[in-house]
Structure 1
Protein backbone atom coordinates (compact mmCIF):
# COMPACT_ATOMS: atom_id res chain seq x y z
CA UNK A 1 0.00 0.00 0.00
CA UNK A 2 1.30 3.44 -0.95
CA UNK A 3 0.81 7.07 -0.08
CA UNK A 4 0.23 9.35 -3.08
CA UNK A 5 2.07 12.69 -3.03
CA UNK A 6 0.55 15.34 -5.33
CA UNK A 7 3.11 18.03 -4.51
CA UNK A 8 4.96 19.67 -7.45
CA UNK A 9 8.56 18.80 -8.30
CA UNK A 10 11.16 19.23 -6.82
CA UNK A 11 9.47 19.44 -3.40
CA UNK A 12 7.74 16.11 -4.02
CA UNK A 13 11.09 14.33 -3.85
CA UNK A 14 11.86 15.73 -0.39
CA UNK A 15 8.40 14.69 0.80
CA UNK A 16 8.86 11.21 -0.66
CA UNK A 17 12.21 10.80 1.09
CA UNK A 18 10.69 11.84 4.43
CA UNK A 19 7.80 9.40 4.01
CA UNK A 20 10.07 6.53 3.00
CA UNK A 21 12.15 7.21 6.11
CA UNK A 22 8.95 6.64 8.08
CA UNK A 23 8.43 3.31 6.36
CA UNK A 24 5.84 4.30 3.74
CA UNK A 25 5.76 3.22 0.13
CA UNK A 26 5.33 6.35 -2.00
CA UNK A 27 3.88 7.17 -5.40
CA UNK A 28 4.37 10.60 -6.98
CA UNK A 29 1.86 12.51 -9.06
CA UNK A 30 3.07 16.12 -9.34
CA UNK A 31 -0.06 17.73 -10.76
CA UNK A 32 1.40 21.21 -11.23
CA UNK A 33 4.60 22.04 -13.11
CA UNK A 34 6.77 25.01 -12.13
CA UNK A 35 7.64 27.55 -14.82
CA UNK A 36 9.66 30.73 -14.12
CA UNK A 37 8.35 34.05 -15.42
CA UNK A 38 10.70 36.71 -16.81
CA UNK A 39 11.64 39.15 -14.07
CA UNK A 40 11.86 42.85 -14.99
CA UNK A 41 15.09 44.75 -14.45
CA UNK A 42 14.10 47.15 -11.68
CA UNK A 43 17.45 47.53 -9.96
CA UNK A 44 16.77 51.26 -9.69
CA UNK A 45 13.72 50.65 -7.50
CA UNK A 46 14.16 51.24 -3.80
CA UNK A 47 12.27 48.64 -1.81
CA UNK A 48 12.07 48.38 1.95
CA UNK A 49 11.64 44.60 2.10
CA UNK A 50 10.71 41.50 0.11
CA UNK A 51 7.68 39.27 0.74
CA UNK A 52 7.28 35.68 -0.48
CA UNK A 53 4.42 33.22 0.01
CA UNK A 54 6.11 30.29 -1.71
CA UNK A 55 9.55 28.79 -2.17
CA UNK A 56 8.74 28.79 -5.88
CA UNK A 57 8.64 32.59 -5.86
CA UNK A 58 12.30 32.52 -4.81
CA UNK A 59 13.16 29.83 -7.38
CA UNK A 60 11.64 31.98 -10.10
CA UNK A 61 13.86 34.95 -9.36
CA UNK A 62 17.00 33.10 -8.23
CA UNK A 63 18.85 33.32 -11.59
CA UNK A 64 18.61 37.13 -11.37
CA UNK A 65 19.87 37.51 -7.79
CA UNK A 66 23.64 37.43 -8.18
CA UNK A 67 24.91 40.78 -6.92
CA UNK A 68 21.36 42.10 -6.46
CA UNK A 69 20.68 44.65 -3.75
CA UNK A 70 17.51 42.70 -2.97
CA UNK A 71 19.65 40.19 -1.06
CA UNK A 72 20.43 42.88 1.52
CA UNK A 73 16.77 43.60 2.26
CA UNK A 74 14.69 41.94 4.97
CA UNK A 75 12.69 39.10 3.45
CA UNK A 76 9.41 38.07 5.06
CA UNK A 77 8.54 34.46 4.21
CA UNK A 78 5.26 32.62 4.74
CA UNK A 79 6.95 29.68 6.47
CA UNK A 80 10.19 27.85 7.11
CA UNK A 81 10.17 26.07 3.75
CA UNK A 82 10.10 29.32 1.77
CA UNK A 83 12.49 30.90 4.29
CA UNK A 84 15.01 28.11 3.69
CA UNK A 85 14.75 28.64 -0.07
CA UNK A 86 15.41 32.35 0.43
CA UNK A 87 18.48 31.70 2.56
CA UNK A 88 19.85 29.26 -0.03
CA UNK A 89 19.34 31.94 -2.69
CA UNK A 90 21.49 34.36 -0.70
CA UNK A 91 19.05 36.52 1.27
CA UNK A 92 20.80 37.58 4.45
CA UNK A 93 17.93 38.68 6.69
CA UNK A 94 15.02 36.23 6.48
CA UNK A 95 12.06 36.42 8.85
CA UNK A 96 9.63 33.47 8.72
CA UNK A 97 5.95 33.39 9.64
CA UNK A 98 4.24 30.24 10.84
CA UNK A 99 2.92 28.88 7.61
CA UNK A 100 0.01 30.91 6.22
CA UNK A 101 -0.65 34.25 4.55
CA UNK A 102 -2.59 35.71 7.48
CA UNK A 103 0.36 35.14 9.79
CA UNK A 104 2.70 36.54 7.16
CA UNK A 105 0.57 39.70 6.95
CA UNK A 106 0.68 40.04 10.74
CA UNK A 107 4.45 39.46 10.71
CA UNK A 108 4.91 42.32 8.23
CA UNK A 109 2.74 44.58 10.40
CA UNK A 110 4.81 43.62 13.41
CA UNK A 111 7.94 44.45 11.41
CA UNK A 112 6.94 48.11 11.42
CA UNK A 113 6.59 48.12 15.19
CA UNK A 114 9.94 46.35 15.51
CA UNK A 115 11.48 48.93 13.14
CA UNK A 116 12.53 46.20 10.69
CA UNK A 117 10.86 48.18 7.90
CA UNK A 118 9.09 51.47 7.21
CA UNK A 119 5.66 51.94 5.67
CA UNK A 120 7.04 54.73 3.51
CA UNK A 121 9.18 52.27 1.51
CA UNK A 122 7.51 50.05 -1.13
CA UNK A 123 7.50 46.34 -0.40
CA UNK A 124 8.33 43.89 -3.19
CA UNK A 125 5.92 40.95 -3.24
CA UNK A 126 7.31 38.03 -5.26
CA UNK A 127 4.25 36.05 -6.27
CA UNK A 128 2.86 33.30 -8.44
CA UNK A 129 0.55 33.87 -11.38
CA UNK A 130 -2.39 32.34 -9.48
CA UNK A 131 -3.04 33.86 -6.07
CA UNK A 132 -5.47 32.30 -3.60
CA UNK A 133 -5.42 35.37 -1.33
CA UNK A 134 -5.09 39.12 -1.91
CA UNK A 135 -2.17 39.65 0.45
CA UNK A 136 -1.10 42.82 -1.38
CA UNK A 137 -4.59 44.27 -0.94
CA UNK A 138 -4.68 43.38 2.75
CA UNK A 139 -1.34 45.07 3.36
CA UNK A 140 -2.44 48.01 1.21
CA UNK A 141 -5.40 48.46 3.55
CA UNK A 142 -2.86 48.95 6.33
CA UNK A 143 -1.09 51.72 4.45
CA UNK A 144 1.66 49.77 2.70
CA UNK A 145 2.70 50.34 -0.90
CA UNK A 146 3.01 46.84 -2.37
CA UNK A 147 4.70 46.18 -5.71
CA UNK A 148 3.71 42.72 -6.92
CA UNK A 149 6.02 40.92 -9.35
CA UNK A 150 5.02 37.55 -10.79
CA UNK A 151 8.07 35.28 -10.77
CA UNK A 152 6.52 31.92 -11.62
CA UNK A 153 3.43 30.06 -12.75
CA UNK A 154 2.26 26.55 -11.98
CA UNK A 155 0.97 24.75 -15.07
CA UNK A 156 -1.68 22.07 -14.53
CA UNK A 157 -0.85 18.56 -15.72
CA UNK A 158 -3.59 17.01 -17.83
CA UNK A 159 -3.37 13.46 -16.50
CA UNK A 160 -2.12 11.18 -13.77
CA UNK A 161 0.93 8.96 -14.30
CA UNK A 162 -0.10 5.54 -15.62
CA UNK A 163 1.27 3.74 -12.58
CA UNK A 164 -0.89 5.90 -10.31
CA UNK A 165 -4.05 5.14 -12.31
CA UNK A 166 -3.22 1.42 -12.13
CA UNK A 167 -2.60 1.67 -8.39
CA UNK A 168 -5.98 3.35 -7.82
CA UNK A 169 -7.71 0.71 -9.93
CA UNK A 170 -6.03 -2.04 -7.88
CA UNK A 171 -6.78 -0.31 -4.54
CA UNK A 172 -3.04 -0.10 -3.77
CA UNK A 173 -3.10 3.53 -2.55
CA UNK A 174 -4.03 4.04 1.10
CA UNK A 175 -4.03 7.86 1.34
CA UNK A 176 -3.45 11.03 -0.68
CA UNK A 177 -1.54 14.12 0.47
CA UNK A 178 -2.79 17.52 -0.74
CA UNK A 179 -0.74 20.72 -0.46
CA UNK A 180 -2.82 23.43 -2.16
CA UNK A 181 -6.35 24.21 -3.30
CA UNK A 182 -5.28 24.37 -6.92
CA UNK A 183 -3.45 21.05 -6.95
CA UNK A 184 -6.43 19.45 -5.19
CA UNK A 185 -8.72 20.71 -7.95
CA UNK A 186 -6.35 19.40 -10.62
CA UNK A 187 -6.25 16.06 -8.78
CA UNK A 188 -10.04 15.82 -8.94
CA UNK A 189 -10.07 16.63 -12.66
CA UNK A 190 -7.35 14.03 -13.29
CA UNK A 191 -9.01 11.17 -11.39
CA UNK A 192 -12.32 11.89 -13.14
CA UNK A 193 -10.62 11.88 -16.54
CA UNK A 194 -8.89 8.60 -15.69
CA UNK A 195 -12.12 6.96 -14.50
CA UNK A 196 -10.77 6.27 -10.99
CA UNK A 197 -12.67 8.96 -9.04
CA UNK A 198 -14.59 6.52 -6.86
CA UNK A 199 -11.45 4.66 -5.78
CA UNK A 200 -9.51 7.87 -5.33
CA UNK A 201 -12.09 9.55 -3.07
CA UNK A 202 -12.83 6.43 -1.03
CA UNK A 203 -9.49 6.65 0.81
CA UNK A 204 -8.21 9.26 3.31
CA UNK A 205 -7.46 12.68 1.84
CA UNK A 206 -4.88 14.42 4.05
CA UNK A 207 -4.86 18.18 3.54
CA UNK A 208 -2.45 20.86 4.68
CA UNK A 209 -5.24 23.32 5.54
CA UNK A 210 -9.00 23.59 5.96
CA UNK A 211 -9.32 25.50 2.68
CA UNK A 212 -7.61 22.67 0.82
CA UNK A 213 -9.80 20.15 2.64
CA UNK A 214 -12.95 21.94 1.49
CA UNK A 215 -12.06 21.18 -2.16
CA UNK A 216 -11.96 17.41 -1.74
CA UNK A 217 -14.79 17.36 0.78
CA UNK A 218 -17.06 19.23 -1.63
CA UNK A 219 -16.17 16.63 -4.27
CA UNK A 220 -17.54 13.85 -2.08
CA UNK A 221 -14.51 12.59 -0.14
CA UNK A 222 -15.70 11.17 3.19
CA UNK A 223 -12.36 10.64 4.95
CA UNK A 224 -10.78 14.09 5.04
CA UNK A 225 -8.03 14.86 7.55
CA UNK A 226 -6.72 18.38 8.10
CA UNK A 227 -3.26 19.24 9.41
CA UNK A 228 -3.30 21.01 12.78
CA UNK A 229 -1.04 23.69 11.30
CA UNK A 230 -0.09 24.48 7.70
CA UNK A 231 3.23 22.62 7.59
CA UNK A 232 4.42 19.23 6.44
CA UNK A 233 5.12 17.77 9.86
CA UNK A 234 1.53 18.46 10.87
CA UNK A 235 0.37 16.96 7.56
CA UNK A 236 2.32 13.79 8.32
CA UNK A 237 0.63 13.67 11.74
CA UNK A 238 -2.74 13.93 9.97
CA UNK A 239 -1.67 11.02 7.77
CA UNK A 240 -0.82 8.94 10.83
CA UNK A 241 -4.22 9.74 12.37
CA UNK A 242 -5.99 8.79 9.15
CA UNK A 243 -4.29 5.43 8.89
CA UNK A 244 -4.86 4.60 12.57
CA UNK A 245 -8.59 5.29 12.41
Structure 2
Protein backbone atom coordinates (compact mmCIF):
# COMPACT_ATOMS: atom_id res chain seq x y z
CA UNK A 1 0.00 0.00 0.00
CA UNK A 2 1.02 3.60 -0.62
CA UNK A 3 0.95 5.13 2.86
CA UNK A 4 1.59 8.73 3.85
CA UNK A 5 3.51 9.03 7.12
CA UNK A 6 3.10 12.41 8.83
CA UNK A 7 4.85 11.47 12.08
CA UNK A 8 7.44 13.95 13.36
CA UNK A 9 11.13 13.41 12.76
CA UNK A 10 13.20 11.55 13.80
CA UNK A 11 10.57 8.96 14.82
CA UNK A 12 9.13 9.00 11.29
CA UNK A 13 12.22 7.27 9.92
CA UNK A 14 11.67 4.26 12.17
CA UNK A 15 8.02 4.07 11.10
CA UNK A 16 9.01 4.18 7.43
CA UNK A 17 11.49 1.35 7.96
CA UNK A 18 8.86 -0.78 9.70
CA UNK A 19 6.33 -0.22 6.93
CA UNK A 20 8.87 -1.05 4.23
CA UNK A 21 9.70 -4.29 6.03
CA UNK A 22 5.97 -5.12 5.94
CA UNK A 23 5.93 -4.66 2.17
CA UNK A 24 4.24 -1.24 2.05
CA UNK A 25 5.36 1.83 0.09
CA UNK A 26 5.56 4.64 2.67
CA UNK A 27 5.71 8.29 1.64
CA UNK A 28 7.24 10.66 4.17
CA UNK A 29 5.76 14.08 4.92
CA UNK A 30 6.85 14.97 8.48
CA UNK A 31 4.98 17.96 9.86
CA UNK A 32 7.24 18.56 12.85
CA UNK A 33 10.74 17.88 14.12
CA UNK A 34 11.68 17.17 17.73
CA UNK A 35 14.05 19.69 19.28
CA UNK A 36 15.78 17.96 22.18
CA UNK A 37 16.61 19.79 25.41
CA UNK A 38 18.96 17.37 27.19
CA UNK A 39 20.31 20.04 29.52
CA UNK A 40 16.81 20.57 30.93
CA UNK A 41 16.53 16.83 31.59
CA UNK A 42 20.00 16.75 33.16
CA UNK A 43 19.20 19.58 35.59
CA UNK A 44 15.87 18.01 36.50
CA UNK A 45 17.43 14.64 37.28
CA UNK A 46 19.92 16.29 39.61
CA UNK A 47 17.06 17.31 41.93
CA UNK A 48 15.46 14.82 44.34
CA UNK A 49 12.55 12.94 42.75
CA UNK A 50 10.53 9.82 43.50
CA UNK A 51 10.62 8.44 39.97
CA UNK A 52 10.34 9.40 36.33
CA UNK A 53 7.19 9.62 34.20
CA UNK A 54 7.39 9.46 30.40
CA UNK A 55 4.56 9.86 27.91
CA UNK A 56 6.63 9.52 24.74
CA UNK A 57 9.58 7.56 23.44
CA UNK A 58 10.89 10.96 22.31
CA UNK A 59 11.69 11.73 25.94
CA UNK A 60 13.65 8.46 26.11
CA UNK A 61 15.68 9.60 23.11
CA UNK A 62 16.50 12.78 25.02
CA UNK A 63 17.62 10.75 28.03
CA UNK A 64 19.85 8.65 25.78
CA UNK A 65 21.85 11.80 25.01
CA UNK A 66 22.90 12.04 28.67
CA UNK A 67 25.17 9.01 28.30
CA UNK A 68 26.96 7.95 31.47
CA UNK A 69 25.22 10.66 33.50
CA UNK A 70 22.02 8.64 33.26
CA UNK A 71 23.46 5.45 34.78
CA UNK A 72 22.66 6.38 38.38
CA UNK A 73 18.99 6.86 37.50
CA UNK A 74 18.32 3.63 35.63
CA UNK A 75 17.17 1.78 38.77
CA UNK A 76 14.61 4.46 39.66
CA UNK A 77 10.90 3.75 39.08
CA UNK A 78 10.14 4.67 35.47
CA UNK A 79 6.45 5.09 34.62
CA UNK A 80 5.74 4.85 30.88
CA UNK A 81 2.48 5.70 29.16
CA UNK A 82 2.42 2.58 26.98
CA UNK A 83 4.38 -0.38 25.71
CA UNK A 84 6.32 1.48 23.00
CA UNK A 85 7.68 3.99 25.50
CA UNK A 86 8.32 1.23 28.04
CA UNK A 87 10.23 -0.80 25.46
CA UNK A 88 12.41 2.20 24.63
CA UNK A 89 13.08 2.78 28.34
CA UNK A 90 14.04 -0.87 28.91
CA UNK A 91 16.27 -0.80 25.83
CA UNK A 92 18.03 2.22 27.33
CA UNK A 93 18.68 0.25 30.52
CA UNK A 94 15.88 1.17 32.95
CA UNK A 95 15.23 -1.80 35.20
CA UNK A 96 12.08 -0.78 37.11
CA UNK A 97 9.64 0.03 34.32
CA UNK A 98 5.90 0.35 34.98
CA UNK A 99 3.69 0.40 31.89
CA UNK A 100 0.38 2.22 31.56
CA UNK A 101 -2.52 1.45 29.25
CA UNK A 102 -1.65 4.07 26.66
CA UNK A 103 -3.24 7.26 28.00
CA UNK A 104 -2.11 9.97 30.40
CA UNK A 105 -5.05 9.25 32.68
CA UNK A 106 -4.27 5.53 32.91
CA UNK A 107 -0.64 6.33 33.63
CA UNK A 108 -1.62 8.69 36.45
CA UNK A 109 -3.85 5.99 37.94
CA UNK A 110 -0.94 3.53 37.79
CA UNK A 111 1.41 6.02 39.44
CA UNK A 112 -1.08 6.70 42.25
CA UNK A 113 -1.50 2.97 42.86
CA UNK A 114 2.25 2.18 42.92
CA UNK A 115 4.06 2.70 46.23
CA UNK A 116 7.41 4.46 45.96
CA UNK A 117 9.98 4.72 48.73
CA UNK A 118 10.33 8.47 48.60
CA UNK A 119 8.60 11.62 49.82
CA UNK A 120 9.92 13.66 46.90
CA UNK A 121 7.88 14.66 43.83
CA UNK A 122 7.54 12.57 40.71
CA UNK A 123 9.51 13.96 37.75
CA UNK A 124 7.51 14.15 34.52
CA UNK A 125 9.82 14.62 31.53
CA UNK A 126 7.43 16.06 28.99
CA UNK A 127 7.25 17.51 25.52
CA UNK A 128 5.58 20.55 24.06
CA UNK A 129 2.86 20.68 22.89
CA UNK A 130 1.17 17.92 24.90
CA UNK A 131 -2.23 16.90 26.23
CA UNK A 132 -2.89 17.49 29.93
CA UNK A 133 -4.31 14.04 30.72
CA UNK A 134 -1.44 12.95 32.94
CA UNK A 135 -0.94 16.22 34.79
CA UNK A 136 -4.66 16.90 35.31
CA UNK A 137 -5.22 13.42 36.72
CA UNK A 138 -2.14 13.59 38.95
CA UNK A 139 -3.47 16.86 40.37
CA UNK A 140 -6.89 15.31 40.94
CA UNK A 141 -5.29 12.33 42.68
CA UNK A 142 -3.07 14.69 44.70
CA UNK A 143 0.15 13.12 43.46
CA UNK A 144 2.98 15.59 43.90
CA UNK A 145 4.90 16.03 40.66
CA UNK A 146 7.17 18.38 38.76
CA UNK A 147 6.88 18.79 34.98
CA UNK A 148 10.01 19.58 32.98
CA UNK A 149 9.88 19.99 29.21
CA UNK A 150 12.80 18.11 27.65
CA UNK A 151 11.79 18.40 24.00
CA UNK A 152 9.70 20.64 21.75
CA UNK A 153 7.99 19.76 18.50
CA UNK A 154 8.94 22.43 15.98
CA UNK A 155 6.66 22.69 12.93
CA UNK A 156 7.98 21.80 9.49
CA UNK A 157 6.33 23.96 6.84
CA UNK A 158 5.34 22.46 3.50
CA UNK A 159 3.92 24.41 0.55
CA UNK A 160 0.41 23.42 -0.58
CA UNK A 161 2.02 22.11 -3.79
CA UNK A 162 3.55 19.30 -1.74
CA UNK A 163 0.21 17.50 -1.60
CA UNK A 164 -0.38 18.01 -5.32
CA UNK A 165 3.03 16.47 -6.05
CA UNK A 166 2.15 13.45 -3.92
CA UNK A 167 -1.17 13.03 -5.76
CA UNK A 168 0.53 13.26 -9.15
CA UNK A 169 2.24 9.94 -8.40
CA UNK A 170 -1.01 8.32 -7.26
CA UNK A 171 -3.47 8.75 -4.41
CA UNK A 172 -2.13 7.57 -1.03
CA UNK A 173 -4.21 4.62 0.07
CA UNK A 174 -4.05 5.80 3.69
CA UNK A 175 -2.68 8.67 5.78
CA UNK A 176 -1.17 7.79 9.17
CA UNK A 177 -1.71 10.40 11.89
CA UNK A 178 -0.09 10.14 15.32
CA UNK A 179 -1.03 13.30 17.23
CA UNK A 180 -3.74 15.93 17.50
CA UNK A 181 -1.27 18.64 16.56
CA UNK A 182 -0.06 16.76 13.48
CA UNK A 183 -3.64 16.09 12.35
CA UNK A 184 -4.48 19.77 12.82
CA UNK A 185 -1.49 20.80 10.72
CA UNK A 186 -2.36 18.32 8.00
CA UNK A 187 -5.96 19.53 7.91
CA UNK A 188 -4.69 23.10 7.48
CA UNK A 189 -2.41 21.96 4.63
CA UNK A 190 -5.37 20.36 2.87
CA UNK A 191 -7.27 23.65 3.09
CA UNK A 192 -4.29 25.58 1.72
CA UNK A 193 -4.04 23.12 -1.16
CA UNK A 194 -7.77 23.41 -1.89
CA UNK A 195 -8.28 19.68 -1.34
CA UNK A 196 -11.01 17.76 0.43
CA UNK A 197 -9.70 15.10 2.78
CA UNK A 198 -11.54 12.28 0.98
CA UNK A 199 -10.21 13.46 -2.39
CA UNK A 200 -6.62 13.17 -1.13
CA UNK A 201 -6.96 9.73 0.47
CA UNK A 202 -9.80 7.28 1.17
CA UNK A 203 -8.51 6.41 4.66
CA UNK A 204 -7.12 8.38 7.61
CA UNK A 205 -5.71 6.09 10.28
CA UNK A 206 -5.57 7.86 13.64
CA UNK A 207 -3.79 6.87 16.83
CA UNK A 208 -6.72 8.01 18.99
CA UNK A 209 -10.12 9.69 18.91
CA UNK A 210 -8.45 12.95 19.93
CA UNK A 211 -6.30 12.76 16.79
CA UNK A 212 -9.33 12.05 14.62
CA UNK A 213 -11.12 15.01 16.20
CA UNK A 214 -8.64 17.43 14.65
CA UNK A 215 -9.70 16.45 11.12
CA UNK A 216 -12.58 18.10 9.20
CA UNK A 217 -16.09 16.68 9.37
CA UNK A 218 -16.61 14.04 6.73
CA UNK A 219 -13.03 12.78 6.77
CA UNK A 220 -12.98 8.96 6.40
CA UNK A 221 -11.26 8.22 9.71
CA UNK A 222 -10.38 4.95 11.44
CA UNK A 223 -9.16 4.94 15.05
CA UNK A 224 -6.71 2.45 16.52
CA UNK A 225 -8.06 0.24 19.31
CA UNK A 226 -5.18 1.38 21.51
CA UNK A 227 -3.00 4.50 21.21
CA UNK A 228 0.14 2.70 19.99
CA UNK A 229 1.76 2.06 16.63
CA UNK A 230 1.08 -1.68 16.67
CA UNK A 231 -2.67 -1.02 16.96
CA UNK A 232 -2.45 1.62 14.23
CA UNK A 233 -0.70 -0.83 11.91
CA UNK A 234 -3.41 -3.42 12.57
CA UNK A 235 -5.86 -1.10 10.81
CA UNK A 236 -3.90 -1.70 7.61
TM-score, normalising length from structure 1? 0.84
2:28 aligned with 1:28: yes
1:87 and 1:164 map into 2 onto residues whose CA distance is 38
Distance 1:102 1:200, change over 3 A: farther
Flag structure 1 segments of 5+ consecutive residues without an equivalent. 240-245
Please report how far the alpha carbon of residue 197 of structure 1 lies from its aligned counterpart in structure 2 after TM superposition: 4.2
1:5–1:16 contact (8 Å) kept in structure 2 = yes
1:60-209 equivalences in 2 (<5 Å): 60-64=62-66, 66-68=68-70, 69-112=72-115, 117-118=116-117, 120-159=119-158, 164-169=163-168, 171-198=170-197, 201-209=200-208
Aligned residues of 1:168 and 1:199 also touching (Cα < 8 A): no
Per-residue deviation, 1:175: 0.9
Structure 1 residues 214, 22: CA separation in 2 closer, same or farther (over 3 Å shift)? same
Say yes or no: does 1:58 pair with 2:60: yes
Could you say if the C-alpha distance between residues 198 and 96 of structure 1 is closer, same or farther in structure 2, counting changes exceeding 3 Å? Answer: closer
User: Do structure 1's residue 233 and structure 2's residue 230 form an aligned pair?
Assistant: yes
| TM-score (norm. length: structure 2) | 0.87
Which ranges of structure 2 fall in alignment gaps of 5 or more residues?
none
RMSD between superposed Cα atoms in Å: 2.4
Q: Which moved more, 1:18-27 or 1:180-189?
A: 18-27
Counterpart Cα distance in 2 of 1:128 and 1:5 = 21
- Structure 1 residue 209, shift from structure 2 partner: 0.8
Output one character per residue of 1:93-131: Cα deviation in whole Å (capped at 9) or x when no partner. 21221222122112112213xxxx157321000001212
Which residue of structure 2 aligns with residue 243 of structure 1? none
1:221 and 1:32 map into 2 onto residues whose CA distance is 25
